[in-house]
């Protein structure tokens, strides 16, 4: 079973890497790009288990290990 946790900066937290990509694209003529934000993608290969259990486990992992709760937030994505 594959699952993802997406870790992103909270709104208001500066993201120089995203800004740099955004400026580069605008300088290249991509005026349709309004904003870019960089985050972390964590892909899990899990044993088969009920969806609900997997969600609870990944929520716990996201909370305690992957995201810094001061500046980051996370989202669990199950197939």
- The CA-to-CA distance between both ends of the chain, in Å, stands at 8
Please say which residue, 39 or 78, places its beta carbon nearer to a copy of itself.
39
Residues pairing with 74 in the sheet = 7
> In whole angstroms, how close is the CB of 43 to a copy of itself at the nearest point?
4
Judged by CB under 8 A, the residue of 11, 16, 45, 70 near a copy of itself is 45
> In whole angstroms, how close is the CB of 13 to a copy of itself at the nearest point?
13
> In whole angstroms, how close is the CB of 46 to a copy of itself at the nearest point?
6
Spatial contact of 22 and 36, defined as CB atoms under 8 Å apart: yes
């Amino acid at each position: 079973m594959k699952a993802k946790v997406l870790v992103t900066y909270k709104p208001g937290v500066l993201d120089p890497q995203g800004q740099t990509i955004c400026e580069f694209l605008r300088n290249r003529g991509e005026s349709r790009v309004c904003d870019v934000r960089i985050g972390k993608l964590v892909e899990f290969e899990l044993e088969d288990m009920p969806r609900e259990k997997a969600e609870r486990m990944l929520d716990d992992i996201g909370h305690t290990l992957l995201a810094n709760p001061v500046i980051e937030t996370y989202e669990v994505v199950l197939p």
